[in-house]
Each structure stands twice: as C-alpha cells, then as structure tokens.
Amino acid sequence: MGKTISIIKMRKQENLIGYLFASPWLFGLIVLGFFPILMSFYFSFTNYNMVSAPKIIWFENYRILLTNDNLFWKSLGITLYHVVIAVPLGIFVGLFLAFLLNSKIKGISIYRTLFYLPNVVSVVAMTLLWMWLFQPNFGLINQLLKPLYDLFKMEPLGWYLDQDLSKLTLILMGLWTAGGSMVIYLAQMQDIPVTLYESADIDGASWFKKMIHITLPLMTPSIFFNFIMGLIGSFQVFTIAYIMTGGGPSRSTYYYAYYLFDKMMNDNAMGMASAMAWILLVIVLIVTVFALRLNKYVFYLGEDS
C-alpha cells in the first residue's frame, strides 16, 4: 500500500518537474508563439496601423488584397515563379553534387567542405559578392562569357539589372548554397547498405539501373525533406532581393514577403500585412499538405513495408 502511494507521489512529482524543465520553452511558445498567432489572426480583420486603436473591418483587408490589388497578385506570381524554378533546381544540383562525391576517390571530405563553404557566409556578404560577379560591365561572369557574346553577336546580359533575368539571377546565386542539401543527400547515400549493390551486381545490373532502382528510391526521405524545407524557404524569399535589386527592376523581384515587409515597416498597415501573412500561411499549408501526400512514395529503410 505504502509503496503504491510513493510511486504515485513520484509520478506526480515527475510531472511537475517535467513542466518545470519545459517551462522556459513553454512560456516562450505561448507568449511568443500562440498569442502572436491569435493576435495576427485578429489583426487581419482590423485596420490596425499602430497609431489608432484597431477597428474591426471584417474581410475588408482580404477583399482588397484579392480583388483590388494588382501588386498582391504580381508579387504572388513572382514568388511562385521563384518557388517553381528554385526548388527543383536546388534539389537537382544538390543531388548531382552528392552523386559526384559518393565514390571511392581520394579527397572526398575536402570537396565536401569546399562545396559546403558558401553556407556559412552571411547572406548580405554573399549577395554583395554576387552583385559584383554579375555586374554587367566589369563583373567576372560577363567577362568570362564575352567570347560567347562575341560569337553569337549578342549584347552582354544585364542579369539583375534586366527585368527578364533578375529572378533567374537570384535563383542562380541561390544554387551557390546547394552544398547544404548535398551534405544531407550524401549522408543518406552512404547509409545505403552495400549488400544491396552487391546483389544487384550479381544480377548484372548496370550503373544506371542501380541508380534508378536502388539509390534514388532510398534517397526519397532526404529529397522529400529538402523539398519541404525548400518550399517553405522559397515562399519567404526576401533578403537577397532586398539587398541585390531592391525589388526591381520594374518590380520584377518584388516578392510576396517583400511586399508584406513594405506594408508592415513602411506603411505600418499591420492589419493588411497580417492578412497577407495569413494568406501566405494558407498557401504554404496547402502546398505542404499536397507535398505530404507524396509521402506515400517515400521509401524508409528499416520500415516494414
């Protein structure tokens, strides 16, 4: 009898101690997480501008954004363009690099370090560096391409100063950090049991077949992970455009998050900005849910099929 009571007492105590240890984080989650989410939901139905008290205007913000704001649709379109190109391209380059490094040649860890290096650089410094590299008149890239320009008798490309190329310029710069996802791909590739390849060798499978039937299927968890993370990140692209193009030229890189930033910091239109944030959340949620349905094609090793 006395023993069970002390166990119950211990359980109760552990419950308390558990909450105690989690309390700093829990407090943060509630005050800096839950509460702001509710507040931003509320703001999105008001005309709050930091000066006068918020007044509820119901769906007016959403109505204006969706039906009467060209810039909203334009910035959303630009962002979608970025997502649709940058995410698959990033996965492709990351995988390509990982495939290169997944072999038994010398110096692999040195190459891995070199490929990863751009990821530790400040975004501001990285963007300034690529502005200089892409600089149309004196930049390294146009100088290296000069023979090609001469060959095809074309004008040098304007990169971030050309409204048709500005988004692609930012995407290309982003590929410089593909080494981050490469490390994840490579780790997973090296986890694939050698026996699988050995038995495939016995069956006389070619390199290509092994790749399609063994490597790629077993890579799906990390591809999926990078896909989701890439989606979420790309929908929020802001800083690189803020530094390199200022949203231009002709608003060609005026991404959704950039427009939201302007609404918030320049116009103090907190209600409108909150509505934009919620629309973004819903879009990201829908896309993620669709992506999660792809999860059934993801193959987890060590799982009963």
Partner 1 sequence: MSELMLPKQKYRSRKKRARIVRLILHIVLLLCSLVFVFPFLWMLVTALKTPAELLRGIDVFFPAKPQWSNFIDAVQKIPFFMYLKNSLIIVVLVVFGTVMSATTAAYAFAKLRWKGRDKWFIVMLATMMLPIQVILIPTYVMYSWIGWLGTRLPMIVPAFFGGGAAFYIFLMRQFFKGIPKELTESAIIDGANHFQIFLKIMLPLSKPAIVTVALFTFMGTWNDYFGPLIFLSNPDHWTLALGLRAFQTQYGGQYNLMMAASILIMLPTLIIFFFAQKTFIEGIKFTGIKG
Stretch that binds partner 1, among 59-67, 69-77, 82-90, 281-289 (CB under 8 A): 281-289
Q: At closest approach, how far in Å is the CB of 164 from partner 1? A: 23
- Show the 3-state SS of the chain: CHHHHHHHHHHHHHHHHHHHHHHHHHHHHHHHHHHHHHHHHHHCCECCCCCCCCCECCCHHHHHHHHHCHHHHHHHHHHHHHHHHHHHHHHHHHHHHHHHHCCCCCCHHHHHHHHHHHHHCCHHHHHHHHHHHHCCCCCHHHHHHHHHHHHCCCCCCCHHHCCCCHHHHHHHHHHCCCHHHHHHHHHHHHHCCHHHHHHHHHCCCCHHHHHHHHHHHHHHHHHHHHHHHHHHHHHCCCHHHHHHCCCCCCCCCCCHHHHHHHHHHHCCCHHHHHHHHHHHHHHHHHHHHHHHHHHHHCCCCCCCC
| CB closer to partner 1 out of 164 and 198 | 198
* Interacting residue with partner 1 among 51, 120, 194, 202 (CB under 8 A): 120
| CB closer to partner 1 out of 55 and 164 | 55
Q: At closest approach, how far in Å is the CB of 123 from partner 1? A: 6
Check residue 187 for interaction with partner 1 (CB under 8 A).
yes
| CB closer to partner 1 out of 91 and 164 | 91
Stretch that binds partner 1, among 55-63, 68-76, 79-87, 229-237 (CB under 8 A): 229-237
The footprint of partner 1 on residues 243-262 (CB under 8 A) is 243, 257, 260
Beta bridge mates, 56: 46
Q: At closest approach, how far in Å is the CB of 6 from partner 1? A: 13
| CB closer to partner 1 out of 164 and 193 | 193
| CB closer to partner 1 out of 5 and 50 | 50
| CB closer to partner 1 out of 31 and 154 | 31
* Interacting residue with partner 1 among 9, 14, 193, 201 (CB under 8 A): 14
| CB closer to partner 1 out of 85 and 284 | 284
- Residues 53, 44: Cα–Cα separation, whole Å: 14
**Sequence-distant (≥ 6) Cβ neighbours of residue 131 within 8 angstroms:** 160, 243, 244
Neighbours of 178 (CB within 10 A): 24
Q: At closest approach, how far in Å is the CB of 91 from partner 1? A: 12
Q: At closest approach, how far in Å is the CB of 110 from partner 1? A: 9
Check residue 169 for interaction with partner 1 (CB under 8 A).
no
Check residue 265 for interaction with partner 1 (CB under 8 A).
yes
Q: At closest approach, how far in Å is the CB of 258 from partner 1? A: 11
Check residue 43 for interaction with partner 1 (CB under 8 A).
yes
The footprint of partner 1 on residues 99-118 (CB under 8 A) is 100-101, 103, 105, 111-118
